[in-house]
Amino acid sequence: MIRRFDGAQSAFHLQTAGTSYLFRVLPTGHLEQLYYGKRIDPESMEELSSLTEKRSFEPGGVIRYDTSTPPLVLEDICLELSSGGKGDIREPFLELVHADGSRTSDFLFEKAEISETKSPFETLPGSCAEDGRAERLTIILRDREYGLTLELSYCVWADCDCITRSARLVNDSGERVEVERLLSLQLDLPDSGYGVTCFHGAWVREMDRDTVSLPAGKFAMESRAGASSSRMNPFFLLHDPRATEDNGTAMGFNLIYSGNHYEAVEVNAYGKTRVVTGMNPQGFRWLLGPGESLEAPEAVMCWSDRGFGGVSRNMHRFVREHIVRGEWKRRPRPVLLNSWEASYFDFTEDTLLSLAGAGKELGVELFVMDDGWFGERSDDTRSLGDWDVNLRKLPGGLKGLSDKLRELGLDFGLWVEPEMVNVNSRLYEAHPDWAMAIPGKPHAEGRKQRVLDLANPAVQDFLIGKMTEVFSSADIRYVKWDFNRIFSDVYSPSLPPERQGETAHRYMLGFYRVMETLTARFPHILFEGCASGGNRFDLGILCYFPQIWASDNTDALSRARIQEGYSFGYPPSVISAHVSASPNHQTLRITPEDTRFHVAAFGLLGYELDLRGLSEEEKRAMSEEIRLYKAWREVFQFGDFCRGRSGNLHEWTCVTPDKSRAAGMLLQELTKPNTQFERYFAKGLEPGARYRFYSGDPGGLYEREDTVASGESLLSAGVKLAPGFGGTGRDGTIRLFLDFSSRLYLMEKI
């Protein structure tokens, strides 16, 4: 609900099912943030006075905005937006260089509009509702000195306790303005001492979680990689330092954008905390001519007093309901077999078909041909950009292969990496100026490939045309769209020198235009995002790609940590995960097959290994796994994911929204000798309902568990499991829980 209060000035109340967000207009026209937290129900303007900050004097050493009394000191007030230059010396929301060279701006309230629909952004992806309805508040502010308009838009997603916010700057002056920063969200809190939990990493090590406490100063998170990047995910948490998985107050923030991003948490001299998120101002400079406008991406925030788990469940719902869209939004995702770790670049139609046949026997539904099918692509040094099938490998072309797969009863999927080019390619030879490069200057290298200049509309048109041709050339049901290097030598040959600061953002806008067009043209294709694994795992990607390849690391133990990291901000329905060979190709670690299955099952299950050499026993185990996964797919893919214990044990539960079925995993990193006793605690079940709890051990290899307990009991008391091996007396009843072992448990409401 959005409520407007009017008195001498106006105030606004954005209310979700469990939270309230309030701000008011000050007599000067600045916006004062009043409250963000647990839902409250103020009835009148008078009632808001308890939320407003009182002051009677001006402290020494500060700037007073004007001569009014009581004095307004912008540096020490919670603001919805700080324009910078008028005394607020914290992180500004925007930074503009005006035609006269000044960097001071002052945006003041003009009017507000409340509507029940949300129109799409002109240039960017954003949150949406299936029926098009969304409560929206737009605040129009004006810089009266320079003749600029700033629109702040808020959307209330009451069902998931999320509020989104975005901004649009309109230059309705007669002069050009340089935009050096236009962020998406600013949240000022009246206190400090918060913990900030961020998710950082690198290739095959995505989503490591760390917490810093911030009594003073500033903590910044960012990507300058061109992509949102595995180095620092745009999702982060701000919380009571004592908050836990289930208790305490926590806020989650994310950005619907796939390029360079910036997040900062700053504690000012007076103990107030400012949070900002948005496009990274570093390297950004946008020239906004008279009559032009610039949109900032939409950011999302949510608040919960149920700890990190509360934030995660809200964010999961937000992603499932208001980010992922299209035909695949709610459709069960197929169990796939990907050729990459099975054969890398080395395949022919025959070898692919024999691999696919082995997959079909086990129950796989979709076969994905990864890198290596086009041009002269026999390694990663050549042919990116030449999207014509290699007829020596695939004599019948894509159609020939897809027809044969169809005969086998399998759907066909394809790998592409359209945004890149190898110098050793026909595309580069024909259009060297289509790659991002500083003309006449040496270029840094990354995976022996260059980034195409998607800021250039001709390059966008080429990609749309070429991919349309490829996707229509056979019965293609799935596309894995890769992006395998970060930006360097950022320069668009299609833009004049003074506009080079626009390149990285224009690239993203070009990419979104390409995806907007292709997803509209091929609505039946399931698009999976990938960027050397999780180098572009963000909400912008998820607006076009219902799922993302979470990491090139397929080692079960690493994946348990990586997927657990993602789970703080993203639901399992967007996390693609594969069972691969042991020893694992990225870590050389040996892990049991069922552990590899369990971890991948708490996501979108696929296989990525050579299935042709499997023993009969292995084949039986895998086909049983796939059968079980299909029977429980709605739980694993679209259930509510809850984290339990985390550390040496990883304890997960996934529950259907109606709480009738649940699946649980208990994974152990390293064995502790002589510890027989262990419990499994389930979360998210209906407290008063009774459940049958039993082992999800399709191969019948392990000790059996089969009992009945209430949802409440499963949560609070847990199930006391069969005794672990204690060093002596091994027999069939004990739980062999070795290093990297795991168990799957199933729960059904009686």
Strand, coil or helix: 542: helix
Determine the size of the site formed for ligand GLA (CB under 6 A).
11
Q: Residues 484, 503, 584, 586: which binds ligand GLA (CB under 6 A)? A: 484
533 counts as binding ligand GLA under rule CB under 6 A: yes
Contact range with ligand GLA by CB under 6 A, out of 499-507, 525-533, 622-630, 742-750 = 525-533
**Closer residue to ligand GLA (CB): 340 or 428:** 340
Q: Which is nearer to ligand GLA, 86 or 382 (CB)?
A: 382
Query: Contact region for ligand GLA (CB under 6 A) — 77-85, 401-409, 526-534, 638-646?
Result: 526-534
Q: Tell me which of 298, 321, 365, 482 binds ligand GLA, using CB under 6 A.
A: 482
Which of 91, 552 has the CB closer to ligand GLA? 552
CA atoms within 13 A on the CB side of 560: 26
CB 26 within 8 A of CB 72: yes
Q: Kindly tell me which of 345 and 471 has the beta carbon lying closer to ligand GLA.
A: 345
- CA dist 395 and 634 (Å) reads 39
Q: Which is nearer to ligand GLA, 126 or 546 (CB)?
A: 546
The answer to the question of residue 76 lying near ligand GLA (CB under 6 A) is no
How many Å apart are CA 253 and CA 234, to the nearest integer?
8
**The token pair that represents 540 in the structure block:** 């912008």
Which residues inside 215-244 make contact with ligand GLA, applying CB under 6 A? none
Verify binding: residue 375, ligand GLA, rule CB under 6 A: no
Stretch that binds ligand GLA, among 11-19, 530-538, 555-563, 564-572 (CB under 6 A): 530-538
Report, in Å, the least distance between residue 334 CB and ligand GLA: 17
Q: Which stretch binds ligand GLA (CB under 6 A): 113-121, 173-181, 308-316, 529-537?
A: 529-537
* Residue 370 contacts ligand GLA per CB under 6 A: yes
- Tell the residue number behind the tokens 């259930």, with chain if given: 639
Q: Which residues contact 180 (CB under 8 A, 6 or more apart)?
A: 95, 96, 97, 281, 284, 285
HEC profile for 587-651? CCCCCCHHHHHHHHHCCEEEEECCHHHCCHHHHHHHHHHHHHHHHCHHHHHHCEEEEEEECCEEE
- In the complex, the smallest distance separating the C-beta of residue 1 from ligand GLA, rounded to whole angstroms, is 43
DSSP string, 458-520: HHHHHHHHHHHHHHHTTTEEEEEE-------S---TTS-GGGGGGHHHHHHHHHHHHHHHHHH
Are 581 and 344 in contact by the 8 Å Cβ rule? The answer is no
Nearest-CA neighbor of 569 among 302, 388, 375, 352?
302
Nearer to ligand GLA among residue 92 and residue 334 (C-beta): 334
Question: Using alpha carbons only, what angle is made at residue 574 by residues 360 and 507, rounded to the nearest 5 degrees?
Answer: 110
Please report how the helices 503-521 and 457-472 are oriented relative to each other, as an axis angle in degrees rounded to 10: 30
Using CB under 6 A, which of 530, 577, 719, 746 touches ligand GLA? 530
Q: Give the x/- contact pattern for ligand GLA in 117-136, rule: CB under 6 A.
A: --------------------
Between residues 414 and 427, which has the closer beta carbon with respect to ligand GLA?
Answer: 414
Quick note: the x/- pattern for ligand GLA over 543-562, rule CB under 6 A, is ------x--x----------
3-state secondary structure of 35: strand
Q: Is 470 in the site for ligand GLA (CB under 6 A)?
A: no
Q: Which of 371, 453, 593, 697 binds ligand GLA (CB under 6 A)?
A: 371
532 interacts with ligand GLA by CB under 6 A: yes
Q: Which of 622, 658, 667, 623 is nearest to 638 (CA)?
A: 658
- Name the minimum Å distance from CB 159 to ligand GLA: 34
Amino acid at 557: L
Q: How many residues are listed for the chain in this entry?
A: 750
Residue 482 appears among annotated catalytic residues? yes
Q: Which of 90, 427, 27 is nearest to 265 (CA)?
A: 90
Per CB under 6 A, which region of 121-129, 458-466, 528-536, 621-629 contacts ligand GLA?
528-536
* Closer CB to ligand GLA, 415 or 462, in the complex: 415
What is the separation of C-alpha 253 from the centre of its chain, rounded to a whole number of angstroms? Answer: 11
With 0-12 / 13-18 / 19 or more C-beta atoms within 10 angstroms meaning exposed / middle / buried, residue 111 is: exposed
Among 36, 93, 340, 702, binds ligand GLA (CB under 6 A): 340
Report the residue closest to ligand GLA, judged by CB. Answer: 371
> In the complex with ligand GLA, which residue's Cβ is closer, 13 or 377?
377
CB of 379 to ligand GLA, least distance (A): 10
5 and 11 Cβ atoms separated by less than 8 Å: yes
Which range in 103-111, 237-245, 527-535, 742-750 contacts ligand GLA by CB under 6 A?
527-535
Q: Which residue(s) pair with 420 in the sheet?
A: 451
CB of 588 to ligand GLA, least distance (A): 18
* 529 contacts ligand GLA (rule: CB under 6 A): no
Annotated catalytic residue within 106, 188, 482, 697: 482
Segment 394-453, which members bind ligand GLA (CB under 6 A)?
415
Q: For ligand GLA, which is the closer residue by CB, 161 or 482?
A: 482
**Smallest distance, ligand GLA to C-beta of residue 476, A:** 16
On whether the CB atoms of residues 608 and 578 are closer than 8 A, the answer is yes
Cβ-in-10-Å burial (0-12, 13-18, 19+) of 166 comes to buried
Residue of 88, 371, 386, 552 marked active site: 552
Residue closer to ligand GLA by CB (options 229, 280) is: 229
Check if the beta carbon of residue 446 is closer than 8 Å to that of residue 432.
no
Residue 552 annotated in active site: yes
Check: CB of residue 603 under 8 Å from CB of residue 576: yes
- Quote the CA–CA distance of 703 and 733 in Å, as a whole number: 6
Residues that bind ligand GLA (CB under 6 A): 340, 370-371, 415, 482, 484, 530, 532-533, 549, 552
Give catalytic residues, as residue numbers. Answer: 482, 552
